[in-house]
């Protein structure tokens, strides 16, 4: 058996809720393959922007769309509106590519647009996807359930929570670790249908060990899922959980640009 | 018996101290039903605003009132003045709706007004209300007392304190938890009449587990209530209590806009 | 015996070192009565102010004096210069009234003056005074000494230190608490003559439990007093001590306004 | 045997990936000798810069190149692009010289250019190189491997992670320390070929004990290396690891200046 | 024997490396007497300054020199350049006087100059000197060594590190304390010749207990000294060590003003 020291949250297929020019199949693969790099970048739009006249803001929005299109061959980029729900950010993007420098090049171009000049980068998280590691001895039906894609339906929310584990967690012996993973998996089963999850690994790439990403239409289920995960012993080993927690609404690039251009 | 892992502070009826167009009955239900989403947003008014001329500020105030009215069918919004009492915020709003995106849409509109352009969002807390869970074996007369609405009377204050519990708290066995809840409830009984309380759940929606909200005309009673709660064993498990504590005065939208327009 | 869970620092008579229009007797009562609310507000004067021409700054200073006079019936306000000794604040005010909203109203008016528009509120601490609680069994001569007002003499300094206690401190049994209070009181006796002290209670009103306030002409004695208090066992239970510590010089409103108007 | 209290990460030869005028041999020696001082300085380019016209920005870029050339006799300076991958910094430089004041003089000149005036210094780390200390009893073949230079190949990334050890780590007895070092060394062996490492000592020169610097073309290997180091017992004694972690792409000065001049 | 609870770093004669008008003997006494107050003030020069024209900056520099001369009778002021080596500060001053208010008055005048208007005070530390307390039973030759002034020679560096002790340290019994002090003293002996040290006491005057100040031409020796001090048991009781560590180069006022006026 290969080492399975990673977090037991399963890497589920991500559904394309954002119509990017990257053809659907390529996007699906980027969102489900291991070895893909992610950058989450959250931005605050500075005051000058809001005082700009409407025409200038609309043309700036068009330049942003061009950047999304220019990189669509190699990069998938999703956008989320946090304005109103977060004190630090107005929106964030989640960027995936096979090489981290492609994420950077996309973001450099985004920051060079007229809107980009007014953006303050308030959070940046980097991570990598890995092949899912299942708890040994997990019943087959549960494995099947874990692999079944979740359809979060209309009006979904996305939540991003970075996690740093303590030294004791990394030093756990295998038996304790298996027990922890079983508890963790069982606690999350009731929410498999309504909360979509994706896990990124960050040790050394950023100041935490994991970036957990969630999509849901039912925030009450998501709140109960997190409470369930707080009630398993693994929670003792979370040195950092959130700080920040990014909670946003999934909206189309057009709608977000329209809101920013109001 | 259903699981009762939530905080034992009771969800009491909120009294309408802010004359919103939402008819009284709808507002009452939003303020007392479970499954309602809250967003607390605190704002600092930037320097440009205070240097604006009086006429421009007055017309800006009118635009804010229109936003409150536009969303009055689905959203209740209360406003509190913290200027002078808080270093970080001038005022905060408490927004309730059946769906969190409605809170966001209200705040997006608020931030698009001429005043909004001068607002810096310094704190944003998101939570959800749940059905109250009573300590098992609580005497009937106490339950009745807990359910009786409190009238904080004239000149009231509001205080918002976010709380994060430690891992040990979430892992408590049922017996210890019952003991803790009884102690907590008993410590708060002497203050039921003068301090109105409301509890929101935040795990995963923000960087803490609960948002506790209080209204009172007697800040000395409130100070003694908090000291009583610090003296029960549950206090050992508060990893974060406040940081920030928001203390404001409940004033009408008109009065706050008039102060901001001085 | 009544409960005496408060901090054993004694509430001593404050001497009027600032010539406010509130007649002396009223001021003395506000500074010595229990149930009085305090707000400490520290301010940084922004760059625009220092670049203003002299005449505009002088007339701005006059407007500040009018605010002090307008509220003199209900509010005592003292002012302290921290510029040069603190990186965050240029000056702070200590405001007392029977109701916290009166502190707020005073500060709202202060912030509406031309100087106020240039002020950034960097710290705000809220508290309440309570009847002093003496250690049981304290010798009568010591009680007398504790009640004797201290005259800090000319050129005095003022220091403000907020304190948060840990959960264990609030849960101490009575015997341990009595031992702690005796140690604390004995450690402070040598400094009763040269260091004037006043205690405010803040639990729930702010992110700490106590605001300790000191006046002295002998900072070396004050430094030794704090070292003595660090050497008693109670110090183990200070989760926060300072952060910030505000150290300022007591100067007249006129002198401070003159310095700000240079 | 000499005392070997330093961190067991080996000081490997650095390869010149940046074409500085300092002739290759001198540069190599500065990057491999003990007793060399390093300053890492990370910068954010302020908004004014991005709003400058293209010609002004291009001539500003030329002035930066002159500073690099002026100090090329005594200072090696490498530059890394973090824009897009870090919320706090756009780029950072790593400066080496035999005396720390030469690093400072280089940076003073850099900050005096037209670009320098628009730079906000967001992080500065100071350290010194020392002779590598090998674990006693390390097999010869491993020592050879540790001394073999790594060629990170094209498109490399650089990561900088400051580390503060706890008091217990500094007080470890020799036997425990040897065990820890062996574990640490063994955990890093699989990554010797793809991850280049360099260690700087910082106790007293900055708020941490070590600055660890890495170069790689394979960020997945680097992520696994850090996870391996988290899984050895020494990790219990890291009071601070990162905060910040600086992750950048190694690009030529010309390319970075071109990006900043877009 | 008098109580000797202070830190055992010895108060050594400071050498006048800055040509102040205060005659040499007076300066020496201020730098070696007990009961002298220190204020360390670190400043960042704001962007406006760097965009000012050369003539205006030169005349501003002259105004700074006048302030130094005006206070030369009562105040010694030394100046250190941190620009390039510190992200937060461009330079800091160390001001000594018999009364803290004289430090404040000097700094008020400095901040009122045209340069002062462009200064942001980023750190301010206040402390007091005390008579050195030697470890009981220290051999006479060691005491002599400790009292011998160190000449740091040309091109010296200065480092300022604030320290907060934990409650356990203040509660140590005398025997343990003596052991700790002996260890501390022995660890520092090899560096007496090349690292000059001075200790200030800060409890209650600021958010830490000690300010340690060092001068050296050999930063490698200083790094080894700090490592030696980390390896004694007293290090377990440092709750805060640095944060910030200020590392600067000792330069003449003229040279620093010239650099700021470039």
DSSP string, B31-54: HH-SS-EEEEEEEEE-HHHHHS-H
Question: Cβ–Cβ contacts within 10 Å for residue B245, how many?
Answer: 20
Euclidean distance between CA atoms A152 and E69, whole angstroms:
72
Beta carbons of B124 and A86 less than 8 Å apart = yes
pLDDT, residue A5, reads 31
pLDDT, residue C151, reads 58
Euclidean distance between CA atoms D163 and A167, whole angstroms:
14
Structure-block tokens of residue A5 = 């020291």
pLDDT value at D103 more than 60: yes
Residue-wise pLDDT for B30-85, tens only, equals 999 999 999 999 999 998 888 788 888 888 889 999 999 999 999 999 999 999 99
| Whole-number Cα distances in Å, A59 to A51, A78, A252 | 15, 21, 17
Residue-wise pLDDT for B202-256, tens only, equals 999 999 999 999 999 999 999 999 999 999 999 999 999 999 999 999 999 999 9
pLDDT, residue A188, reads 94
Beta carbons of A204 and D259 less than 8 Å apart = no
pLDDT, residue D133, reads 74
Which of A106, A121, A202 is facing D87, going by the closest CB pair?
A121
Beta carbons of C87 and E121 less than 8 Å apart = yes
| pLDDT tens track, chain A, 262 positions | 233 332 322 222 222 333 344 557 789 999 999 999 999 999 999 988 887 888 888 888 899 999 999 999 999 999 999 999 999 999 999 999 999 999 999 999 999 999 999 999 999 999 999 998 766 667 777 777 677 666 555 669 999 999 999 999 999 999 998 899 899 999 999 999 999 999 999 999 999 999 999 999 999 999 999 999 999 999 999 999 999 999 999 999 999 998 988 7
pLDDT value at E111 more than 80: yes
Give C46→chain B minimum CA distance, Å: 10
Contact list, A2 vs chain D (CB under 8 Å): none
Which of D214, D220, D245 is facing A206, going by the closest CB pair?
D245
The DSSP bridge partners found for residue C160 are: C213, C246
Residue D57 annotated among the catalytic residues of the structure: no
Beta carbons of A104 and D81 less than 8 Å apart = yes
pLDDT, residue B47, reads 82
Q: Where are the beta strands (DSSP E) in C82-148?
A: 91-97, 119-128
pLDDT-based confidence at residue D148 (cuts at 50, 70, 90): low
Ranges of chain C with pLDDT below 70: 1-23, 134-137, 148-155
Q: How many CB pairs under 8 A join C and E?
A: 97
Residues 6+ apart with CB under 8 A from B130: B6, B11, B34, B35, B199, B201
- Radius of gyration, alpha carbons of chain A: 19
Nearest Cα residue to C93 out of C132, C67, C58, C57: C67
Phi, psi of A50 (to 5 degrees): -70, -20
pLDDT value at E4 more than 80: no
Nearest Cα residue to D198 out of D41, D40, D42: D40
pLDDT value at B152 more than 90: no
Task: Give the helix/strand (H/E) hosting D121.
Answer: strand D119-128
pLDDT-based confidence at residue E48 (cuts at 50, 70, 90): confident
Euclidean distance between CA atoms E124 and E211, whole angstroms:
11
pLDDT value at E3 more than 60: no
| Whole-number Cα distances in Å, B61 to A54, B58, B83 | 22, 5, 17
Give C15→chain B minimum CA distance, Å: 25
Place of tokens 């024209």: E53
Chain A: residue nearest D261 by CA?
Answer: A112
Give C165→chain B minimum CA distance, Å: 10
Beta carbons of B247 and C126 less than 8 Å apart = yes
Crossing angle (nearest 10°) for helices E253-260 and E54-70: 150
Q: How distant is the alpha carbon of residue D175 from its chain centre?
A: 30
Give the chains touching A; criterion: ≥3 Cβ pairs < 8 Å. Answer: B, D
- Radius of gyration, alpha carbons of chain D: 19
Alpha helices in chain B (DSSP H): 24-32, 47-51, 54-70, 100-111, 114-117, 140-147, 167-170, 174-188, 219-230, 253-260
Place of tokens 């006079």: C69
* Average pLDDT of the segment spanning D190-204: 96
For testing the chain A interface, which of B204, B205, B207 should be mutated: the one with the most A CBs within 10 Å?
Answer: B204
The helix/strand/coil state of E98 is coil
Give B227-231 contacts, CB < 8 A, sequence gap 24+: B227/C5, B227/C170, B227/C201, B227/C203, B227/C204, B228/B187, B228/B188, B228/B190, B228/B191, B229/B184, B229/B187, B229/B188, B230/C165, B230/C167, B230/C170, B230/C203, B230/C209, B231/B187, B231/C5, B231/C170, B231/C171
Contact list, A227 vs chain B (CB under 8 Å): 5, 170, 201, 203-204
Phi, psi of A41 (to 5 degrees): -130, 120
Q: Where are the beta strands (DSSP E) in E67-218?
A: 76-81, 91-97, 119-128, 157-165, 195-201, 210-216
Cis peptide before B244 (omega within 30 of 0): yes
pLDDT-based confidence at residue E237 (cuts at 50, 70, 90): very high
Give B73→chain C minimum CA distance, Å: 32
Chain D: residue nearest E86 by CA?
Answer: D124
Beta carbons of C99 and B220 less than 8 Å apart = no
- Radius of gyration, alpha carbons of chain B: 19
pLDDT, residue D151, reads 58
Beta carbons of E85 and D126 less than 8 Å apart = yes
Predicted TM-score (pTM) of the model is: 0.91
Euclidean distance between CA atoms B58 and C121, whole angstroms:
24
| Whole-number Cα distances in Å, A78 to C68, C147, E135 | 55, 68, 65
Euclidean distance between CA atoms C185 and C197, whole angstroms:
12
Residue-wise pLDDT for D110-124, tens only, equals 999 999 999 999 999
Which of A99, A117, A204 is facing D225, going by the closest CB pair?
A204
């Amino acid at each position: 058996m290969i080492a399975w020291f990673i977090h037991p949250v399963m890497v589920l297929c991500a559904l394309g809720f954002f119509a990017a020019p990257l053809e659907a199949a390529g996007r699906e693969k980027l969102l489900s393959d291991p070895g893909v790099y992610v950058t989450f970048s959250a931005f605050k739009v500075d005051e000058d922007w809001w005082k700009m006249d409407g025409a200038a803001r609309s043309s700036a929005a068009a330049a942003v769309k061009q950047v999304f299109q220019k990189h669509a061959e190699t990069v998938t980029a999703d956008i989320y509106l946090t304005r109103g729900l977060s004190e630090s950010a107005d929106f964030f993007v989640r960027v995936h590519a096979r090489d981290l420098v492609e994420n950077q090049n996309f973001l450099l171009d985004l920051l060079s647009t007229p809107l980009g000049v007014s953006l303050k980068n308030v959070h940046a998280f980097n991570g990598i996807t890995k092949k899912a590691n299942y708890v040994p001895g997990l019943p087959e039906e549960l494995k099947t359930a874990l692999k079944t894609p979740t359809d979060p339906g209309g009006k979904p929310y996305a939540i991003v929570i970075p996690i740093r584990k303590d030294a004791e967690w990394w030093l756990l012996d295998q038996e304790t670790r298996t027990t922890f993973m079983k508890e963790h998996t069982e606690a999350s089963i009731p929410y498999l249908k309504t909360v979509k999850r994706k896990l990124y690994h960050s040790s050394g790439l950023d100041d935490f060990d994991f970036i957990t990403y969630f999509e849901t239409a039912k925030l009450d289920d998501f709140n109960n899922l997190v409470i369930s995960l707080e009630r398993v012993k693994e929670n003792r080993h979370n040195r950092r959980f959130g700080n920040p927690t990014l909670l946003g609404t999934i909206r189309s690039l057009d709608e977000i640009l329209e809101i920013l251009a109001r």
